[in-house]
Structure 1
């Protein structure tokens, strides 16, 4: 059964995007992740802001493609707004349906969650299984936080370098 993984690069001060969703800060640090993650992903669960947002691969050969063209597969975008059809992308209106469809498509692989808000929703619903935090040596000062939530503390247990399992 698929597991939901929130994998992200972040600034040392805890932001995944700069002000206005700017991702250009990440461009100099793009490359293969230090963890062999991409072959372990079976589907993407993407927030609409992330899907429509800035691309750190802008202007390069991987622009507009997941992981800069390093991954291909089904994508499920959680949205409440109508969208023009995009090949390989399903637009889904509620979290439960999006997670169910992405999990079925991923099979035994990971559903990689992209977007802080959808990751928070998955965490709050008790659906997020693991977190992979890849810090980048940058201090952004403001922007989109890794997690922005109000609620009880969530415990994580470390399963590898920068990799954590959600405990509670």
Structure 2
């Protein structure tokens, strides 16, 4: 059975994108990461928010532009959007209902991970009790402004259990299991 994993790189001050969704800040930190490279093989599908899918790309102007994990992964992508396009995209399924998007992503992943991409989709997964794990790569930079890792004013406390802590030259890695509410 598939598990939902939110993977993200954030600045030390808690931002995953700069102002307006700018991802260019991430480019210097895209170097080798053996832990993430190994994990990519365990990903069966992506559940992606529309803003992330259509947003800025840290691989812009490189051969890896537009490719998941810089071309390190390929497979089915489920994009959660309020506006499903008329034209089909190869390998991409657009879905407007959250529950349906999760179901399709889990089905496509089989017994591998559904990798969640996008702050809003991750918040929805937490709120629905669907998120199983969080992998955060912390880049050694302070952005000062932008899109926060998790921001939900008035939100509830979510308990986590640390599964992994390590470092690579360009980031520190923290992996957590999301514990049941209660």
Q: Shorter chain as normaliser: what TM range?
A: over 0.9
Structure 1: which 5+ runs fail to align?
none
**1:30 and 2:30 equivalent?**
yes
Q: Give the corresponding residue for 2:156.
A: 152
Which whole-Å CA distance do the structure 2 matches of 1:99 and 1:134 have between them? Answer: 24
Which whole-Å CA distance do the structure 1 matches of 2:107 and 2:140 have between them? Answer: 36
**1:45 and 2:54 equivalent?**
no
Q: 1:135 to 1:34 in 2, by over 3 A?
A: farther
**1:13 and 2:4 equivalent?**
no
User: Per-residue deviation at 1:32?
Assistant: 3.3
Q: Give the corresponding residue for 1:132.
A: 135
Mapping 1:49-60, distance limit 5 Å: 49-60=51-62
Q: Give the corresponding residue for 2:168.
A: none
User: Per-residue deviation at 1:34?
Assistant: 4.4
Mapping 1:32-111, distance limit 5 Å: 32-35=32-35, 36-83=38-85, 84-111=87-114
User: Per-residue deviation at 1:31?
Assistant: 2.6
Q: Are the equivalent residues in 1 in contact too, given 2:84–2:95 (CA < 8 A)?
A: no
Q: Deviations over 1:2-60 (max 9, x none)?
A: 00000100000001100000000000111333422110100000000000100000011
Which whole-Å CA distance do the structure 1 matches of 2:13 and 2:159 have between them? Answer: 20
Which whole-Å CA distance do the structure 1 matches of 2:32 and 2:132 have between them? Answer: 23
Q: Which moved more, 1:109-118 or 1:26-35?
A: 26-35
User: Per-residue deviation at 1:160?
Assistant: 1.2
Which whole-Å CA distance do the structure 1 matches of 2:53 and 2:114 have between them? Answer: 15
Which whole-Å CA distance do the structure 1 matches of 2:31 and 2:52 have between them? Answer: 19
**Which aligned runs of 4 or more in structure 1 are off by greater than 6 angstroms?**
none
TM-score, with structure 2 as normaliser: 0.90
Q: Give the corresponding residue for 1:164.
A: 176
Which whole-Å CA distance do the structure 1 matches of 2:155 and 2:91 have between them? Answer: 35
Q: Deviations over 1:57-94 (max 9, x none)?
A: 00111001101111000000000113232110000011
**1:115 and 2:118 equivalent?**
yes
